[in-house]
Structure 1
Amino acid sequence: MKRQTFIIIFACSSFLLIFSLLLFTSRSDDQMSTKKYTTETSENALEEPEEDIIKISYDGEQFPIAETPEVSESVQQYEEQIEKHAVSYEVEDYSNLIMALMMQESEGKGEDPMQASESLCGEVGCIDEPSQSIKQGVYYFSEVLKQANDDVKLALQSYNFGNGFIAYVKENGGTYTKKLAIRYSQKMFNNLKESGNYACRTPEEAELNACYGDFNYVGEILKYFE
């Protein structure tokens, strides 16, 4: 009887020992598998980071302004100069946008391809060398971007209107809208039309009596990213 009891106890003990070993092995395999998966996932995340694409919303559309715009060869020839000055003035994320800006201003033609004379000396024609134009144009864009608190659309429109538009927007809601651009154009044209320096270029401008600058300047630049 004692022998039978001993055998039963020994068998149960052996079974429990074997079961414990199997359970420990299974858990170890699961931990190794989880660790391997975590490591592989981390490595894949490092190898394939998500691309940070800067986009601007305008009239219900999204425009990827970090991509290369559709511009003329005349503008493309100045790409390196634009990038160099964009780095200097800490707006390198917007170098492609500045290329589109040049395209809208002059298509890369002339001695002042950024049309930056007025921002430098207050009148047209004081810049007669493309390299000076590009440096001044990029600098002026960086300044209006700062003044606009990184509101890119406000900065673009202010490149066309002048930085007085920034103050106007801050007094009227604080954020760029096309309606504000139209209202500012109307206001300025009404004040300056007797000077003879401003005229309506399109039927829409004439109908709205908004002939100061180009109130659709933002849209005109973003079209190069379509």
Structure 2
Amino acid sequence: MAAKWVKISATPNENYRFVNWIEGTNIISTNLEYEFTATANRTLTANFIKQYTLTINKLGNGSIEVNGNSYSTPMMLDESQAIEIKAIPQSGWVFDAWSGDYIGTNSQTTITMDADKTIVAEFLFTTGLVSQNKKNNDLPFIQTPNSIKLITNEYVTVQLDGLTGQHILKTTNSNIDISMLRNGLYILTLTKTNGESQSYKIVKR
């Protein structure tokens, strides 16, 4: 009987990545498609690996690196893969902490992908935390226990968000009532008419 030309193809399911074709303990191809001449019985195995999504959000101003490369959009990474994440604050800011699916205060750390992960890199403006008992002449607002009042007219919109990204309010008012907020940390973002914005981490007590 004449030898037959065979072409096989591997198709990974959603959230899986094709790794290789093996025969016994030998890797015979890392391509999705493999062609050979069938001259004898062969047993080939297609290996796939599970992948998880890594999403990194930012509060405040800074950038993120994953394995030394700039991060911009969610990434698909192999199960059990150890990756290095690094938070780089913008000038005038400092890194504060990671939150979400990873908790830590080291700006550079290693995580293992054992599930989909959404992580938040939190940056602080170097003027510091603003509490109800602290006022800073360099800040464009004054905070009291129940309000935030802008002291400059260069900002046209005010937005307040929770640390995990939940939107609380957005307004053009210069005097914002925060009496309804629970005690905790929040991100205050002030935006100018030209679209330039500045974010501050504030404390409600």
| TM-score normalised by length of structure 2 | 0.27
Bigger share in strand: 2
Structure whose CA Rg is larger: 1
| TM-score normalised by length of structure 1 | 0.25
Bigger share in helix: 1
